[in-house]
Amino acid sequence: MKRTYVIGCGKLGASIANECSRRGLEVIVIDSNPSSFALLDEDFSGDPKVADASNLDTLRALGLENAGEVYVTTGNDNLSLFLAHASSTLFHIPYIYVRFDDPALGILVQSESTIKPVYPFQLTRDRLNRMKFGGND
């Protein structure tokens, strides 16, 4: 089975990793700060790794090249952008999900079909609009 990589173990990254682990996927979580792994479940079955995600050689050593899918949830949009592009162009990972705080960065990933960007800003705004002005969820 191809492994799932989660880069950035913040609140979002940790919850994605927990979810994938619960669903029986083989998960590798990467973060530069070991204390962030405290957010993982007690019965988390995946593999937490301490590594600097801005260094592609380290990620390669952790086997990112053979990933089945990757979730990029670092706290830095520029780092996320770079990791998304690298995962797509250099490592040819078929499914890449990226969280961006700045929706303007979407323009830089839209040409690549394997990269699926998610913008919490837009999601929140749309949801709030719907709550206020009605419409379907």
Return residues touching another protein (CB under 8 A): 54-57, 76-79, 81-82, 85-86, 89-90, 102, 104-105, 107-108
What backbone torsions phi and psi does residue 83 show, to the nearest 5 degrees? -65, -35
54/114 with CB nearer another protein: 54
User: 66 or 89: whose CB is closer to another protein?
Assistant: 89
Question: Residues 38, 5, 99, CA angle at the centre, nearest 5°?
Answer: 85
Report the nearest approach of another protein to the CB of residue 100 (Å): 11
23: burial class by Cβ within 10 Å (0-12, 13-18, 19+)? exposed
Q: Smallest gap, in angstroms, from Cβ of residue 76 to another protein?
A: 7
DSSP 3-state of 13: helix
Cα 7 to Cα 12, 50, 129: the distances in Å are 10, 10, 31
Q: Is 128 buried (19+), middle (13-18) or exposed (0-12) by CB count in 10 A?
A: exposed
CB 54 to another protein: min, Å? 6
Decide whether 46 or 117 has the Cβ nearer to another protein: 117
For the bound state, the minimum distance from the C-beta of residue 26 to another protein, rounded and expressed in Å, comes to 26
Q: Of 1 and 104, which CB lies nearer to another protein in the complex structure?
A: 104
